[in-house]
Amino acid sequence: MSHEDIEDMFAALRPITLKAMFGGNGIYHQGLIVACAFDGDVVLKADAVSGPAFEAAGAQRWSYEGRGGKVIMMPYWSIPDDAYDDPDQMAGWVRLAFEAALRAQAK
């Protein structure tokens, strides 16, 4: 996914900054990480407040296999498929990601 594609996805949060991390990019708004991009995919930050909305929309939570085969669940979710064709829906999801980032900062 190109930088331009990511900029378009996050139009509701402009400006955003991309920073290299873990073989991909962290996507930041106002200094807070709101998403990660890697292997052509973007996953949005979520938490206990917003995670259920992602799950209800059919999004998948990002996980990876850690030491000893243990599955590590990360606080990031895939973008619901419908949002890719609807800028208003995409704006709503990226705003939820920013709200989760704000709550994480407040802790």
Supply 11's token pair. 């139009």
Supply 49's token pair. 């407040």
pLDDT for residue 47: 98
Closest CA to 97 of 20, 16, 40: 16
Provide the residue type at 14 as one letter.
R
Structural domains in the chain, sorted by start: 3-106 (3.30.1460.30)
pLDDT for residue 22: 79
Token pair 């799950």 is at which residue?
Answer: 55
Backbone angles phi, psi at 22, to 5 degrees: 50, 40
pLDDT for residue 83: 97
Residues in the chain: 107
Low-confidence ranges of the chain (pLDDT < 70): none
CB atoms within 10 A of CB 2: 8
Token pair 């000893």 is at which residue?
Answer: 68
pLDDT for residue 39: 87
